[in-house]
Chains A and B, each alone.
Chain A
Amino acid sequence: MQAESTVNTVSVTDLVVSYRTSRGYLKAVDNVSLTLEKAKIHALVGESGCGKSTLGLALSRLLPEKRVTYSGKIMCKGTDLLSLHEKDVEKFRGTEIATVFQEPMTSLNPVYKIGEQIAEALAVKRHRHPYDTSSIPKPQISNRLFGANEEGVIMRFRRRGLYKQFADEVHELLMKVKIPNPERVANTYPHELSGGMKQRVMIAMAISERPSLLVADEPTTALDVTTQTRILELIGSLTKDYGMSVLLIAHDLGVVAAVADYISVMYAGRIAEQAPTRELFENPLHPYTIGLMGSFPKGRKENTTLKTIPGVVPQLGRYPSGCRFHPRCEKAFERCPDNIPPLIEVSTGHKVACFLHGG
């Protein structure tokens, strides 16, 4: 994790993200450190509720600031994002750190054409002031009553104008994400496109400013298996072409095995194990990682034994003491319920938080 700082685009150190709830502050992400290297895909794997999406959102401070507290460091281009004023984070959002979400249909606006939406994103990122909203008169009460929304009308024209202004760039971006006929697609509405195409559009928007880090939060979960491999292929090739780092958030070890260079396994808010992809699959050490791998049905029921992890994934706020995996762990012993296992480097680049392996 130390040294080689020149190839790191973003590094996260001792990040804690807590949500303010009626039961007090709950740590969704607890002391996580990650290094995201240039032109590499770092995968973050875990089951639902383990804090992986919270971490992804925290990287560009997209969580509601009033209800969330951070501690630790997120270093990007020599700046600690957590020390910035909320307004200054804007300079990083979308331009340095871009995010692609799981469900492309909810990320796109259904009433605007694809081209207009991409153009708007471009305009926002370029100038940060696409429309001078102060010059637009506030809608009158009477207008509101009769359903006319001047602001909406003006925005609509602006969007069309923006598409004309940025048409070439929009088409080029769509080509980059391997959409075969960009002119046609730019003129369609989101509902006319398939899930895979929509996800490509989202990726096109995300990479428009050549960000140093792309956070892809379950980008293929809502897609069909055949489309999934296509999108992973695309993310893989863009990583190389653009030299950006990618944080690929997934719940599926198979997806991760296909493209990741480095994997972090997360459980109940903490990192259980971190290793380069080959090392992790050849030599998994944490019982949780081993359990996850074993629970994939590899063959037929007659000749394979399907392993399971007993129990259920703990919910935020009900995390067990000590090692949070101990109630489900077959190998748990006296130390586990009372002590938190530290993340220890057992071989080069391979870290594990388990008392069976030091600590």
Chain B
Amino acid sequence: MKKMPSESLIQVKQLVKYFPVRAGISAKLLGKKASYVHAVDDVTFDIASKETFAVVGESGSGKSTLGLTLLRLIPPTSGKVLFENHDIASLPEKQLRRLRKDMQIVFQDPSSSLDPRKRVLDSVAEPLSVNRSEGRTDRREKVAEALRAVGLSELQMNQLPHQFSGGQRQRISIARAIIQKPKFIVLDEPTSSLDASVQSQILLLLQQLQSEFNLSYLLITHNMAVARYMSDRISVMYVGKLVEVGSTEEIIEHPLHPYTQLLISSVLEPSIDTRLKHVEGEGEIPSPVNPPAGCRFNTRCPFAKDMCFTTEPALREIETGHYAACHFAEEISSKQQS
């Protein structure tokens, strides 16, 4: 997307992930065509090293599937994911495993991503044993180091997950992600299950780890305020497609796609200026099994014209580094500038 091949750590090219919908026996007998969930549909972007790239969207937009497909935790239907010029999507398992230590993931809910019967030590050390790299004492030392890095005490190493609060558990899963000193971490809604006061602690921690270990993040979130705070660039996803990509400032200050505008206006800041103003954009996200023809946002878009129901808008560069997939993006852009 952006032309900086020397710097980009990850390049995603036309990534597609369809899930087949299991048809009932009656449908099979009637010879109905198999249908698919278009979870990720032709997505292209790149992430530079040390960059935070946010993917924002509502539930059902395919953003979590994108994160999982990117790491080949689920195999993509088609497309390429280049990680330092190795194609993760087609690499044989053995070689992929060697790359795995550079790519990690942190999930939304730490109480389900940590094994309740495993000590913190064992959970955090698990990536090490997969890569069979360390001896026993070395292992304890590395875990202690990772725990200190996320602000926990190494004395808590032998405790079980239930002895920790939600925020501390998320710290443990972050420790597990960083123990092998990866280059890239997918953060899938890392703060969504946490309380407000704890959310900010985790955001600060992630920020500090990024500069300490030179990490790149793919931050998946539904929260525009979190994306704005954390990321260098934001992409907006809607029913499997990226509808807008650009620098955080550009996206927040000059959103070009009506869906991005809707998302930004839905941010409720804790301040007296946040009284509800009615924003256009009725309805909810359509089913990714049969996405609407033309622009996928046409069912909710307050500005939809005939063209939007027939032709699908392409994601194209409207201003330098700012891409949008709306037929009227140029128009909106020139209006904003005047």
Contacts and interface: CB of A to CB of B under 8 A. Distances in A.
Residue from A227, A229, A258, A282 whose CB has the most chain B CB atoms within 10 Å: A229
A258 B268 contact: yes
B249 A300 contact: yes
A304 interface: yes
A47 B197 CA distance: 8
A225 B263 contact: yes
B284 A281 contact: no
B197 A295 contact: yes
A300 B248 contact: yes
Nearest to B205: A308
Contact of A225 (B199, B203, B224, B276): B224
B249 A306 contact: no
A157 to B, nearest CB: 28
Contacts of A255: 268
A3 interface: no
B195 A297 contact: no
Interface stretch (A65-73, A246-254, A333-341): A246-254
Contact of B270 (A195, A253, A313): A253
A195 B222 CA distance: 16
Nearest to A236: B276
Given A296-B225, A300-B228, A300-B229, A225 B197 contact: no
Nearest to B191: A297
A226 B228 contact: no
Contact of A292 (B197, B225, B284): B197
A342 interface: no
B262 interface: yes
A229 B269 contact: no
B284 A296 contact: no
B42 to A, nearest CB: 23
Interface string B158-198: 00000001111000000000000000000000000001111
Given A297-B200, A308-B200, A281 B272 contact: yes
Given A232-B276, A259-B276, A306 B271 contact: no
B197 A308 contact: yes
A89 interface: no
B281 interface: yes
Contacts of A256: 270
Contacts of A195: 284
Given A258-B268, A281-B271, A225 B200 contact: no
A296 B200 CA distance: 7
Nearest to A196: B284
Interface in A172-203: 194-197
A358 B262 CA distance: 44
B268 A254 contact: yes
Contacts of B269: 254, 257, 296, 298
Contacts of A281: 270-272
Contact of B165 (A294, A309, A313): A313
Contact of A297 (B198, B228, B271, B282): B228
Contact of B196 (A47, A197, A225): A47
Given A300-B229, A306-B204, A312-B198, A225 B272 contact: no
B276 A229 contact: yes
A225 B266 CA distance: 6
Contacts of B248: 300
Nearest to A314: B165
16 contacts: A47-B195, A225-B224, A226-B284, A227-B284, A233-B278, A251-B196, A254-B274, A293-B270, A297-B203, A297-B225, A297-B226, A297-B230, A306-B229, A308-B201, A310-B201, A312-B165
Interface of A: 47-48, 194-197, 224-230, 232-233, 236, 251-259, 277-278, 281-282, 291-301, 304, 306-310, 312-313
Interface of B: 58-59, 165-168, 195-201, 203-204, 207, 222-226, 228-230, 248-249, 262-263, 265-272, 274-276, 278-279, 281-282, 284-285
